[in-house]
């Protein structure tokens, strides 16, 4: 056989793909697959959607099939075309009032035509890409609109619950309520009470039995229970009537005044669009709480991106066109079904589409079963949904943000007028409130110990310039003055008035100090004002030095560091006595690090934090070369700042025994080649080649300066929240037990705040087993108090890399003097023995092996201390009751990466947080 003849003749008969040149290679064939999680989630959503769709159709006065049509179209069409994969759309309770009013005015066929026209309008808005604009509506208006609709629904459905028929408006329903109470139907009331009772009790069944039963949604259980009870008891009640699909009414040409139809289209478009877009944003937040849905592709976990709001608007428009054409209710994103879809474990849009298919199957095959449902049960279900739309959480939120007036005006207008007029009135009130806040500025003047204080509360605009000028001219010539600006905006007119007075006052021998809620001291410059209030830097006049701690080289008000910056990396303001060259006694001037454009250290906007901008050692003297701002040029909105470094100092000793004391004294981090900034080696000062460094600053001065920065910058921002916690007491949900290492900042790595964590810190994050404390019951007492008194729901043991306690355990020698440290570390010996025991697999890290024996012991210690926790009586009792979860964390300091302990049964894996799920 010739060598040119192919040895496999079968290959020559196969068709060969011809790949066109200059085109990407063909991708792999995609197979349509539905994940098991999507199937189970679709069933859960379907069981909720079925009774709610019928109930909403009943509340609007539409044919009951219309609710099923809208649910099916919302699931299939929006699920396929929408931009929020996990949001479920269908007939929404927020549209009930609008649709009911349309049906009463124009009839059902015209209402369907209005729904189609609203869908066309939504398509137009989606093509114009204005979806984000809808989010500009104040949340107080949206919450007020939903609350007003909820009140209207609840009042109307109350008549059906009592066995009667609702009226056309809230006032008519309220006036007819006494007569309805006098002639109530006991059978309807009994079925309604049973439905409401099941709705209330079902989600609150405790224990393992409750968790098992809650797999069935409460609305389905409530309606099914009431239906079964009514059937078994033989109660005579109005029930669901689903006529033949052959007689189902479809959309017709709109009939009625053109202006009224246009207003109806605008209302449907507005309510559907805003509710759907806000629902998509809420679904994104729910998805973010499920790490598996936002995992990186490298983990091969399902991934759901953020919602495309313009595409979502297009999908909602297409669904409303289809639903209206087929004789269905208007379609919008529904919060209850969407949250159920996410919580049920859906991973793609297939769950939403499959739920719509299930609704179609039920509408075709389950008609005899659906016709057994009493109307009173559906009315009670919808009434409960309406009551839940008046959210106490929303009321507390708008109260905290001082928008109660907007919320109340919108709610009342929706209840007593209609939805469109209510939203318009709410927008008008919101604009009026915003203008009032902008124009309302409080300016006071008082004298304390010879210093005149001018306090400005609110935004400083041209409207407040006359009152500001009057207050400033009350300050006598040559006297010291302090101007406190507590606001976030200063316009050009106010800036010029304040600057002109400042120059005049300092020229007459006086001094001016500008302070603010978020800034230190200084005088104002064009670079600091403009778009921001409360700004100041030294430009003209003499400024008195800020008060300093006794013996401190740097005034307290001059510290310009981020709140979380380590003391040893501080780059603070040069002392007042520094030479005019701009070089501090500790080293050369350096550019101050900033976090992002337009910000200054501390994380505050530049226009709010320029109180110490632009000063050098000679900043106390007026600058003769600085140009005056041109009157017609508005000041810059961003302030840049350059500062001189203070003397470097060695970091405080680590609180973790055994960890080596840091030797680097440089003002910043090392460069990638391992040298300090400027080319010096680690451990040496970058100033060694220039001049001797100044002595280390006493720790008390560092502490006092930090406290002063807190009182000045942070305390005004958190005072309200801390006052609430002081009134209500602590109610943390987490006990966080970690090491005393100074590099572990629990609030930073957990993004928690005051009142969130009950923290226990000790050397080595050790949990002494019960009975072995030997006089030290502090950890056991904290655990008992957290579990039995505070009722925490979770306990976390957090270890970390480079733990000095673990190093001390590995290097300890038997015998010797029993110091307090050695006596404490004996509680870590079980961890050492666990690692030496070959019968147990070692805990491991995801993606890499432990770096050394110390890291392996740190991981093993977390697992061992969790075993010690389970031995405590209070913990064991709470675990048996299902009221407590235990978690293990490992924080790698150098990587700034947190690992979560997953698995069990001998396979302990520390996985990246953001990928693993929190499991008990």
What is the 3-state secondary structure of 666-696?
CCCCCCCCCCECCCECCCCCCCCCCCCCCCC
Distance between CA atoms of residues 136 and 143, nearest Å: 14
Distance between CA atoms of residues 206 and 201, nearest Å: 10
Please report, for residues 59, 141, 161, 524, the alpha-carbon distance to residue 148 in angstroms, rounded to integers and kept in the order given.
Answer: 15, 10, 20, 48
Alpha-carbon torsion angle 683, 687, 690, 694, nearest 10: -110
Give the pTM: 0.50
Distance between CA atoms of residues 293 and 284, nearest Å: 10
| Strand, coil or helix: 678 | coil
Distance between CA atoms of residues 378 and 304, nearest Å: 34
Contacts 24+ apart (CB under 8 A), 286-289: 286/86, 286/338, 286/339, 286/342, 286/343, 287/86, 287/342
Is the dihedral angle over the CA atoms 356, 358, 359, 363 positive or is it negative? Answer: positive
Buried b (16+ CB within 10 A) or exposed e, 257-293: eeeebeebbebbbbbbbbbbbbbbbbbbebbeebbbb
Distance between CA atoms of residues 690 and 588, nearest Å: 9
Distance between CA atoms of residues 895 and 881, nearest Å: 38
Mean pLDDT by 10 residues, the chain (920 residues): 44 49 51 73 84 86 89 93 90 84 88 93 90 77 84 86 80 85 86 91 84 81 90 84 70 79 90 86 76 49 73 93 92 84 83 92 86 87 85 87 90 84 88 83 88 88 87 90 82 87 89 66 39 37 36 39 45 42 36 34 34 34 38 35 33 38 37 38 36 49 80 83 87 93 89 90 91 76 93 94 91 79 88 82 84 90 92 92 91 90 74 55
In 3D, which of 591, 597, 460 has the Cα closest to residue 536? 460
In 3D, which of 559, 535, 536 has the Cα closest to residue 546? 559
Distance between CA atoms of residues 63 and 242, nearest Å: 8
Predicted confidence at residue 585, as pLDDT, reads 35
Predicted confidence at residue 297, as pLDDT, reads 43
Predicted confidence at residue 623, as pLDDT, reads 37
Distance between CA atoms of residues 347 and 283, nearest Å: 13
- Contact (Cβ atoms closer than 8 angstroms) between residue 313 and residue 84: no
Tell me the Cα Rg of the chain.
35
In 3D, which of 274, 330, 311, 294 has the Cα closest to residue 117? 330
Query: Six-digit token pair at 282?
Result: 């809420």
- Contact (Cβ atoms closer than 8 angstroms) between residue 498 and residue 524: yes
Kind of pairing between the strands at 480-486 and 511-516 = parallel
Distance between CA atoms of residues 584 and 687, nearest Å: 11
Query: Locate tokens 């991934």: which residue?
Result: 303
- Contact (Cβ atoms closer than 8 angstroms) between residue 438 and residue 467: no
Distance between CA atoms of residues 489 and 723, nearest Å: 27
Distance between CA atoms of residues 613 and 619, nearest Å: 10
Distance between CA atoms of residues 362 and 367, nearest Å: 7
Kind of pairing between the strands at 734-739 and 332-333 = unpaired
Predicted confidence at residue 904, as pLDDT, reads 58
CA atoms within 13 A on the CB side of 870: 12
* Strand blocks (E) in 617-765: 643-644, 734-739, 757-762
- Contact (Cβ atoms closer than 8 angstroms) between residue 414 and residue 278: no
Rounded to a whole number, what is the distance in angstroms from the first to the last CA of the chain? 69
Predicted confidence at residue 699, as pLDDT, reads 58
Burial of 868 (0-12, 13-18, 19+ CB in 10 A): buried
Predicted confidence at residue 20, as pLDDT, reads 52
In 3D, which of 134, 136, 99 has the Cα closest to residue 114? 99
């Amino acid at each position: 056989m010739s060598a040119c003849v192919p040895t496999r003749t079968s290959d020559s008969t196969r068709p060969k793909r011809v790949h066109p040149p200059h085109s990407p290679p063909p991708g792999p064939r995609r197979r349509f697959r539905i994940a098991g999680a999507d199937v189970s989630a679709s069933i859960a959503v379907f069981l909720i959607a079925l009774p709610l769709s019928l109930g909403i159709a009943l509340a609007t006065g539409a044919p009951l099939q219309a609710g099923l049509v809208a649910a099916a179209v919302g699931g299939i069409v929006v699920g396929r075309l929408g931009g929020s994969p996990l949001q479920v759309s269908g007939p929404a309770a927020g549209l009930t009032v609008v649709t009911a009013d349309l049906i009463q005015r124009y009839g059902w066929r015209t209402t369907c035509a209005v729904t189609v026209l609203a869908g066309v309008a939504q398509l137009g808005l989606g093509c114009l890409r204005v979806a984000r604009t809808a989010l500009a509506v104040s949340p107080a208006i949206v919450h007020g609109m939903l609350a007003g609709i909820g009140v209207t629904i609840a009042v109307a459905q109350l008549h059906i619950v009592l066995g009667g028929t609702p009226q056309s408006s809230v006032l008519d329903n309220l006036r007819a309520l006494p007569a309805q109470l006098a002639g109530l139907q006991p059978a309807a009331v009994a079925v309604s009470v049973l439905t409401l009772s099941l709705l209330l009790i079902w989600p609150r069944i405790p224990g393992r039995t409750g968790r098992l039963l809650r797999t069935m949604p409460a609305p389905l259980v409530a309606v099914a229970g009431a239906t079964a009870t009514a059937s078994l008891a033989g109660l005579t009640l109005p029930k669901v009537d689903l006529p033949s699909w052959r007689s189902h009414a479809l959309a017709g040409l709109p009939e009625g005044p053109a202006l009224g139809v246009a207003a109806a289209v605008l209302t449907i478009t507005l309510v559907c669009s805003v509710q759907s877009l806000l629902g998509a944003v809420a679904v994104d937040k729910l998805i973010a709480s499920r790490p598996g849905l936002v995992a990186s592709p490298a983990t091969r976990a399902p991934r759901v991106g953020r919602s495309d709001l313009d595409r979502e608007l297009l999908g909602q428009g297409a669904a409303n066109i289809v639903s209206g054409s087929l004789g269905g209710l208007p379609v919008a994103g529904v919060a209850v079904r969407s949250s159920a879809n996410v919580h049920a474990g859906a991973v793609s849009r297939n769950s939403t589409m499959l739920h719509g298919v299930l609704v179609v199957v039920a509408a075709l095959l389950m008609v005899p079963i659906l016709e057994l449902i009493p109307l009173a049960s559906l009315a009670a279900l919808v009434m409960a949904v309406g009551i839940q739309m008046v959210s106490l959480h929303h009321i507390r939120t708008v109260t905290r943000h001082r928008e109660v007036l907007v919320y109340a005006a919108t709610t009342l207008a929706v209840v007593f007028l209609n939805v469109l007029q209510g939203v318009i009135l709410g927008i008008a009130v919101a604009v009026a409130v915003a203008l009032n806040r902008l124009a309302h500025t409080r300016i006071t003047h008082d004298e304390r110990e010879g210093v005149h204080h001018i306090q400005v509360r609110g935004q400083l605009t041209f409207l407040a310039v006359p009152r500001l000028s009057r207050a400033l001219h009350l300050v006598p010539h040559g006297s010291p003055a302090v101007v406190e600006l507590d606001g976030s905006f200063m316009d050009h007119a106010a800036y010029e008035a304040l600057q002109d007075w400042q120059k005049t006052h300092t020229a007459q021998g006086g001094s001016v100090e500008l302070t603010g809620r978020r800034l230190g001291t200084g005088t104002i410059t064009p670079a600091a004002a403009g778009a921001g209030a409360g700004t100041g830097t030294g430009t003209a006049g003499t400024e008195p030095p800020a008060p300093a701690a006794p013996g401190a080289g740097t005034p307290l008000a001059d510290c310009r560091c981020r709140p979380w910056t380590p003391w040893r990396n501080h780059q603070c303001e040069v002392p007042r006595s520094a030479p005019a060259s701009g070089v501090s006694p500790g080293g050369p001037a350096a550019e101050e690090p900033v976090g992002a454009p337009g910000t200054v250290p501390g994380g505050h906007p530049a226009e709010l934090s320029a109180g110490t901008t632009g000063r050098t050692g000679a900043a106390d003297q007026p600058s003769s070369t600085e140009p005056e701002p041109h009157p017609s040029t508005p000041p810059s909105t961003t302030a840049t700042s350059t500062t001189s470094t203070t003397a470097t100092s060695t970091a405080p000793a680590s609180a973790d025994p055994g960890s080596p004391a840091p030797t680097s004294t440089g003002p910043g981090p090392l460069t990638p080649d391992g040298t300090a900034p400027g080319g010096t080696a680690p451990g040496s000062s970058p100033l060694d080649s220039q001049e001797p460094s100044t002595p280390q600053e006493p720790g008390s001065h560092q502490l006092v300066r930090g406290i002063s920065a807190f009182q000045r910058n942070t305390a005004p921002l958190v005072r309200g929240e801390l006052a609430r916690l002081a009134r209500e007491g602590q109610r943390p949900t987490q006990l966080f037990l970690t090491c005393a290492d100074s590099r572990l900042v629990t609030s930073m790595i957990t993004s928690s705040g005051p009142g969130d964590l009950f923290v226990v810190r000790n050397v080595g994050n050790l949990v002494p087993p019960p009975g072995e404390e030997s006089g030290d019951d502090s950890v056991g007492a904290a655990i008992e108090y957290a579990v039995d008194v505070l009722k925490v729901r979770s306990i976390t043991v957090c270890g970390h890399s480079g733990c000095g306690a673990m190093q001390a355990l590995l290097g300890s020698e038997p015998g010797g003097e029993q110091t307090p440290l050695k006596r404490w570390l004996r509680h870590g010996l079980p961890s050492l023995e666990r690692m030496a025991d070959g019968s147990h697999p070692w805990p491991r890290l995801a993606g890499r092996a432990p770096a050394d024996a110390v890291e392996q012991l740190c991981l093993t210690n977390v697992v061992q201390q969790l075993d010690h926790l389970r031995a405590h009586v209070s913990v064991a009792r709470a675990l048996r009751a299902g009221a407590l979860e235990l978690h293990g964390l490992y924080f790698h300091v150098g990587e700034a990466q947190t690992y979560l302990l997953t698995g069990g049964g001998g396979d302990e894996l520390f996985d990246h947080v953001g990928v693993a799920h929190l499991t008990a």
